[in-house]
Amino acid sequence: MQGRPGLNPLRFHYVVDAETLETITQLAVKLGWWVRNVGQEWLFHPAGLHHAITKFVEGDQPGISTMVDEEDAEGNLRSIKDARRQADWVLVHLHNHEWDSDKGLSAPAKFVIDFARACIDAGADVFIGQGSHSRLRGIELYKSKPIFYDPGDFMSMSDTVARLPADFYFSPGLSAEMRSCKATPADAFDARKALPKPLSPPGGYHSAKVLGSVVGVCSFGDEGRLNRLKLYPVTTTGEPRPQSERPMLADAEMSRKLIDYLAELSAPFGTKIESENGVGLVKF
């Protein structure tokens, strides 16, 4: 709503082939979920949760893909166009957790790629996706504007908080002792570290080949054209716990590994990255 604070949503839905849609429908019926067909859309939600809808659309191509909801996209793009008329520089940030199920956690979902490019078309100078906790995702230069699909976590939540919500102690896989009122936050953090790795994403958030992030520094020249993009590799401390997740510039060896890894992730987008004195340089 205009003039009121709140969430700026970007919903998405799944596009699946007929066979996949039939499988999902049969499973939802067996689970006792609510299933409704409205035109070309199939809407699923658990019983009673009428606004927690997952939407599927049958597509012509085999497999599963994701697409942004047009209504949400239109509202966001309208704001970007308005900002373009009033600002020197327009940066767009998208917090998202989804990934490409075929390529893994280090690859953005298809709807993010399409939306990022649409943001540049609407007038954004830089697009930054973040929140996947994949540590790193690739960089694309689209119409000479940088798209960071995820530069990685810079600071993470502290492992030394004094209070945790009750639901934290009831997380699946934690022991009965964790449900006791005697359990402390330190007990819960220790128990969380001992949990088995998830099946999807394979290995969880720390499964990347190289763990780290980058700080990108963009330099623009005449007419707002990008003329330099430097990438400073960053790692975070692991132990001891009071210092965990503190960001620090990577040393020479880790810098090389992070830049090489980011170059590998960026190659599918046609982006070339080279290393110079421990700093990544995006080649135009």
| Whole-number Å distance between alpha carbons of 98 and 149 | 11
Give tens-digit pLDDT for 40-62: 899 999 999 988 899 999 999 89
pLDDT of res. 1: 59
- Quickly count: other Cβ atoms within 10 Å of residue 212's Cβ: 22
Higher pLDDT pick, 11 / 193: 11
CB-based contact 232:279 (threshold 8 Å):
yes
Quick one: CA dihedral 165, 170, 173, 177, positive or negative? positive
Give tens-digit pLDDT for 70-123: 999 999 999 999 999 999 999 999 999 999 988 999 999 999 999 999 999 999
| Whole-number Å distance between alpha carbons of 67 and 57 | 10
Give the tokens for residue 253. Answer: 């060896």
* Residue 79 CB contacts under 8 Å (≥ 6 apart), including other chains: 8
Query: Which residues on adjacent β-strands are paired with residue 216?
Result: 231
Domain-wise residue ranges, the chain: 7-68, 88-156+198-284
What's the Cα-to-Cα distance from 30 to each of 23, 25, 26, 46, 68, rounded to whole Å?
A: 11, 9, 6, 11, 28
* Residue 184 CB contacts under 8 Å (≥ 6 apart), including other chains: none
CB-based contact 194:122 (threshold 8 Å):
no
Mean pLDDT of 61-74: 93
Whole-number percent of the chain with pLDDT over 70: 98
Q: For residue 283, is pLDDT > 80? A: yes
Q: What is the DSSP string of 84-128?
A: HTT-S--EEEEE----BTTTBTTS--HHHHHHHHHHHHHT-SEEE
Residue in the structure block whose two tokens are 């790692």? 235
Query: Rounded to two decimals, what is the model's pTM?
Result: 0.90
| Whole-number Å distance between alpha carbons of 240 and 111 | 39
| Whole-number Å distance between alpha carbons of 239 and 231 | 25
Give tens-digit pLDDT for 111-166: 999 999 999 999 999 999 999 888 899 999 999 999 999 999 887 766 778 888 88
